[in-house]
Structure 1
């Protein structure tokens, strides 16, 4: 019983510190729903916030923004030339060559967006398109991006991939 309580306490502490729920679930080998269940069991159900002193404006939430039709994305995504010590600066995410596998493309630590892109290419959902054409999937709360991330975390839970959360969420194929 003492081991279960300390595990639950750690889950609640990580949740309270603002850690990513998917990451907590991956670390403890449980589902996101189970993380929320542990937190609710230990802390209690969430209580809605009291109404604020000002009414919610009629235009809330704001309408979705659609970029102008004349602005095409760049040909490749090139992030700024910065990387934390010990990390290579990615020059651009290019579609892998036909016949390559996720195991051959994720040999080094790759940030979450890049890993999702490579997984999407490996299963054929992007059809060889470059990262610049599909990056909205990873950055705009797109359901496909959430599912690709969930697939990566499932591969972590089964031991196929390795995961680290700092300095940025990254994945790589498990070595050995």
Structure 2
């Protein structure tokens, strides 16, 4: 995944950080890429599956009365951001480094904004998603990647230069 400079954090993430400062503080000069052992791989699959099954899909409008609101799921429902935040939280709790667990904004098959969790590993970046059940390498997803959290600071974001010819472009025709 090629980065192309700084990007503005999504408004929902900015609000999330103001309401959950401990989740967005800190950073590192030496971001970590996780060695993907069989145990770590199985942990990713288990967290992705567990969170996907635990949260009922509902829009922010239905839940909070606003178009975009990022928060941890508290009532067993949420949209893509709640899935991503919970997966990130569970993996950090399990000992994964935050610098390897990056909230990522993509364009989905409907060309709409969607959030997924990018996990940086020694075997490449993989994606945990609520729309696709399996954990996939980023380049195997049907999404166009737009931006993600910076590896050095959870409050900063980086633009992604996704120049692949994607399924997203070809399905719309």
TM over 0.5: no
TM-score normalised by length of structure 1: 0.23
Greater share of residues in strand: 2
CA radius of gyration, larger in? 1
Greater share of residues in helix: 1
TM-score normalised by length of structure 2: 0.23
